[in-house]
Amino acid sequence: MNEVMTDGRRPVRIGDMAPDFRARSTKGDFQLSALRGQWVIFFSHPADFTPVCSTEFAALARRQADFDALDCKLVGLSVDSLYAHLAWVRALRDLFGVGIDFPIIEDPSMAVGRAYGMIDDSAVDSMAMRSTFFIDPQGIIRATTCYPHNVGRSVDEMLRLLRALQRVDGASHLTPEGWTDGKPLLLPAADGTDAAPDWFCRFEASR
């Protein structure tokens, strides 16, 4: 049975400490806090052996090196058993020619999913949630996304968001709409005494 360390007050939000947990995974016994010091993308999927989830995991496997280059660990989760996860990993290798090198957590009790708000307290299964949590090296949740079960996530967008979070981490700069690595950053809005017409929306390059 999974062990989750949470006070149970409410689903976690941006700025909260990510609830720690211990569980079995396709890579052995797993504890989230063991990954402190690195970025973590922790994501749920509705079920193994399903079409959308299979394409997501194949795409993540193909882009594993990009996440590694950003010092980010991927961690998947669903309510399926460890044995189902292992069988699915083999099936994905056979079908797509990819190896899933990141851990997939089993959560048959839905304890971890409920602690993260991935699964509603009244839900009898996990089919409604395709949630993703971006966790910084201190264990703080910095961003979240949630998709319905019938719409797949974009791995490109996961990487873009991760790069943006890392770029503004500890800095006063901001990333504009659609920012990608190498593009100009935004400056914080100036105080009301600045007469320049762009006082409320200035790019770093316009200093």
pLDDT at 44: 94
pLDDT tier at 7, thresholds 50, 70, 90: low
Domain for residue 42, yes or no? yes
| Alpha helices (H) in the chain, listed in sequence order | 51-62, 64-69, 82-96, 111-115, 155-168
Comparing 119 with 165, the larger pLDDT belongs to: 165
Average pLDDT value for residue range 51-71: 98
Is 165 contained in some domain?
A: no
If one counts the domains in the chain, the total is 1
**Residue 44 has which token pair?**
């749920």
pLDDT in tens, 105-134: 999 988 998 899 888 666 555 554 789 999
Least confident of 34-38, 44-48, 121-125: 121-125
Residue 81 falls inside a structural domain: yes
Q: Check which CATH number belongs to the domain holding 126 and give it.
A: 3.40.30.10
For residue 28, pLDDT beyond 60: yes
Tell me, yes or no, whether 138 lies in a domain: yes
Residue 92: both structure tokens together: 């994905």
Q: Which residues contact residue 186 at a Cβ distance below 8 angstroms, ignoring those fewer than 6 apart?
A: 173, 174, 175, 176, 201, 202, 203, 204
In a domain, residue 77? The reply is yes
Mean pLDDT to the nearest integer, 133-140? 98
Give pTM, 2 decimals: 0.91
- Dump pLDDT digits (tens) for 178-199: 999 999 999 998 876 666 888 8
Determine the average pLDDT of the residues in 153-171.
96
Whether 84 is covered by a domain: the verdict is yes
166 contacts 66 by C-beta, under 8 angstroms: no
Task: Give the range of the structural domain holding residue 33, as residue numbers without chain letter.
Answer: 3-153
Q: Annotated active-site positions, please?
A: 53
Measured distance CA(97)–CA(156) in Å, rounded:
20
> Is residue 35 one of the residues assigned to a domain?
yes
Comparing 6 with 66, which gets the higher pLDDT? 66
Confidence at residue 206, expressed as pLDDT on a 0 to 100 scale: 46
